[in-house]
Amino acid sequence: MEEKDVVKQEQTKLGSIKIADEVVKIIAGLAATEIDGVVGMSGGVVGGITEILGRKNLSKGIKVEVGEKEAAIDLSMIINYGTRIPEVAAQVQEKVKQAVEKMTGLNVVEVNVNVQGVSFGHEGKEKEKE
């Protein structure tokens, strides 16, 4: 693991603990997709098409900026049609903040939610059945 990939490093009496930025991204992605109304993470707009990514790619659409003790997280996602975007976004912000802080010990100072698209049709109905 390269040093630039390490978000947090801590020394204990038994050795060092390193947390990679990819781990923080995955924690944030898992927490975000647990919220009702979130269809998936978005890899961004490429050629006018927004790609909805499955659980295997939860770090896609997520950027983290981490200092020694604090983190800022940006999430790009797809929301179900018919949901109240401000409410879903606020729930995502709180859930991501709690999950990252609990699992990494970092103080999350910012969680920015970027809604890249709205899903309607069969994709949202399949999520509701689960």
Whole-structure pTM value: 0.78
Say whether pLDDT at 50 is over 50: no
Query: Which residue reads 């103080």 in tokens?
Result: 107
The one-letter code for the residue type at 85 is I
List all residues 6 or more positions away from 24 whose beta carbon is below 8 Å from its beta carbon: 7, 64, 66, 71, 73, 100, 104, 106
Long-range contact list for 3-8, CB < 8 A, 24+ apart?
7/64, 7/66, 7/71, 7/104, 7/106, 8/66, 8/68, 8/104, 8/105, 8/106
Question: What pLDDT does residue 6 have?
Answer: 65
Nearest to 66, CA basis, from 23, 124, 33, 15: 23
Q: Report all structural domains of the chain as residue ranges with CATH numbers, in order of start.
A: 20-129 (3.30.70.1350)
pLDDT confidence of 44, banded at 50, 70, 90?
Answer: low
Q: What is the pLDDT of residue 14?
A: 86
pLDDT beyond 90 at 40 = no
Cα→Cα distances 36→11, 88, 96, Å:
38, 7, 14
> For residue 55, what pLDDT is reported?
44
46 has a pLDDT exceeding 50: no
Instruction: Note the pLDDT of residue 122.
Output: 53
Lookup: tokens for 25: 């991204």
Q: What are phi and psi of 7, to 5 degrees?
A: -90, -50
Name the more confident of 18 and 87. Answer: 87
Sequence-separated (6 or more) residues with CB below 8 Å from residue 20: 1, 5, 6, 7
